[in-house]
Amino acid sequence: MQFGAEPNEFSWIINLAFFAFIMIFSLYGQKIQMWQWLKQIEMGLIELKKMAVESRQTAIDTFKAYGRDVEFIAKEIDRWSDFFTIMPVDLDPSGVLERIDHLFEQRSDRFKEFVAELAPEATDSEKLSLENTLEVAQVLGLIFRIVRHFYILGKKTGSTIIVMQVQMQMPELLRLAKAYHGAIDAFAQGKPIGDTIGPLIVTKFAREYGATPDSYVQEVTREVGYYKIDVDRRTVYVVRATGPGGTVGKPGFAIKKLVDEHKEKVTRIITIDAALKLEGERMGRVAEGTGAAIGDIGPEKHAIEQTATEQGIGIEAIVIKENEEVAVGVMDKRVLDAVPEVIERIKSAIQNRTKEGDYVILAGIGNTIGVGL
């Protein structure tokens, strides 16, 4: 068969179809593409909405056990879901970290006040976990509302660039939302999450050297305390947030405070934290390096670096690699299995890089939900 070689009675159909095809795709190709993208965003939105609604429901169900009726809780949670924090001006960067810290302190106060109002019968530890539950529900609601905004805006204006951007970011957004959606169950029930590995490791380390829940010194800074232990004739301050309620506290400022107290006696700061693993890396892989492993927005990390630099203190970090799903979801066995290895590395760090009589600060960074003192 050869096209056009010998024209016959049907060839006009083929020609017509061919030209129609070219016309449709050159004139409406973009429209078809847009339609396809919008459909894909729609599918994602349905899923995001489902997760947002479910997490709101979980939050309501969790709160209702603490002495308020469901209607009141639902109304208040909806009111709260819009709570925002305005980041400070960074055009004039001087003192921006203090301002950030101040704002986040305020935010945290408001959260506490709100949780206390919604769950008057909860214990302090439960209140902390409730705060986390609320935060997750809020994040999921926010993701849904932002994506919906761009979807409607893109549809309304027919702007390719808006629709394209959302469509391209959708898989990443869905992955993030799924991770948080998985986390809400952990927070609501007080299960340890992947991020708790830092505090867990330092606590187990401290226990090996005789620390007990009673020897924990509460509140060096808000919600953070320490165990003071003796490791091979070095004095080690093991810093972690209180537990087993879910809180991250401000370990960075606690470290600074301890250094300020003991000045030149402190010769080493070791931070233990969970870190995001690269795709293809093994879950629960342990890595070490230099610097402060702490994932705050800036003030705490700055405080550690500043104080370490001023006093000439060695600063090192050991991280345990995990993905987002595990970091905010229930603790994974493979991550937990990394505990002995990290403890060994801490011991060798203390033995090899500090002298007898030195003061060492060992900080477990991360949420402490489900990890006892």
Partner 1 sequence: MGALSKIIGLAIAAAGAFLLWWGLTPEMEGLSLILFFLGIILMSIGSSILFSGKSRSEKEEEPEPPTVTELQCQNPNCDFKEIRDFEKGDYILKEMEQRCPKCEGTMMIEGIYIVRKEEEKPEF
Task: Name the residues that contact partner 1, by CB under 8 A.
Answer: 1, 3, 8-11, 13-14, 17, 47, 174, 182, 185, 189-192, 196, 200, 203-204, 207, 243-244, 279-280, 283, 326, 330-336, 370-373
DSSP 73-140: HHHHHHHHTT---PPPP-SS-TTHHHHHHHHHHHHHHHHHHHHHHH-TT--HHHHHHHHHHHHHHHHH
Q: At what angle do helices 11-63 and 160-189 cross, to 10 degrees?
A: 30
**Residue 227 CB, nearest distance to partner 1 (Å)?**
12
Nearer to partner 1, 81 or 133 (CB): 133
**Residue 236 CB, nearest distance to partner 1 (Å)?**
18
Quote the tokens at residue 164.
């394209």
Collapsing DSSP to helix, strand or coil, 259 comes out as helix
What is the Cα–Cα distance from 65 to 191, expressed in whole angstroms? 17
Quote the tokens at residue 62.
């969790």
Nearer to partner 1, 167 or 196 (CB): 196
DSSP state of 280: T
Nearer to partner 1, 277 or 301 (CB): 277
The alpha carbon of 244 is separated from its chain's Cα centroid by a whole number of angstroms, namely: 18
What is the Cα–Cα distance from 74 to 223, expressed in whole angstroms? 28
**Residue 222 CB, nearest distance to partner 1 (Å)?**
21
What is the Cα–Cα distance from 40 to 28, expressed in whole angstroms? 18
What is the Cα–Cα distance from 307 to 311, expressed in whole angstroms? 6
Burial group, residue 233, by CB count within 10 angstroms (0-12, 13-18, 19+): exposed
User: Which helix H or strand E contains 150, and what residues bound it?
Assistant: helix 124-157
- What are the φ/ψ torsions at residue 7 (nearest 5 degrees)? -60, 140
What is the Cα–Cα distance from 274 to 263, expressed in whole angstroms? 28
**Residue 215 CB, nearest distance to partner 1 (Å)?**
13
**Residue 13 CB, nearest distance to partner 1 (Å)?**
8
Q: Give the pairing type, strands 224-231 and 234-241.
A: antiparallel
- Which residues on adjacent β-strands are paired with residue 364? 272
Nearer to partner 1, 204 or 353 (CB): 204
**Residue 195 CB, nearest distance to partner 1 (Å)?**
13
**Residue 203 CB, nearest distance to partner 1 (Å)?**
6
Nearer to partner 1, 298 or 340 (CB): 340
Nearer to partner 1, 1 or 91 (CB): 1
Nearer to partner 1, 44 or 252 (CB): 44
**Residue 81 CB, nearest distance to partner 1 (Å)?**
25
Nearer to partner 1, 106 or 212 (CB): 212
What is the Cα–Cα distance from 180 to 175, expressed in whole angstroms? 9
**Residue 160 CB, nearest distance to partner 1 (Å)?**
24
Nearer to partner 1, 97 or 274 (CB): 274
What is the Cα–Cα distance from 120 to 225, expressed in whole angstroms? 25
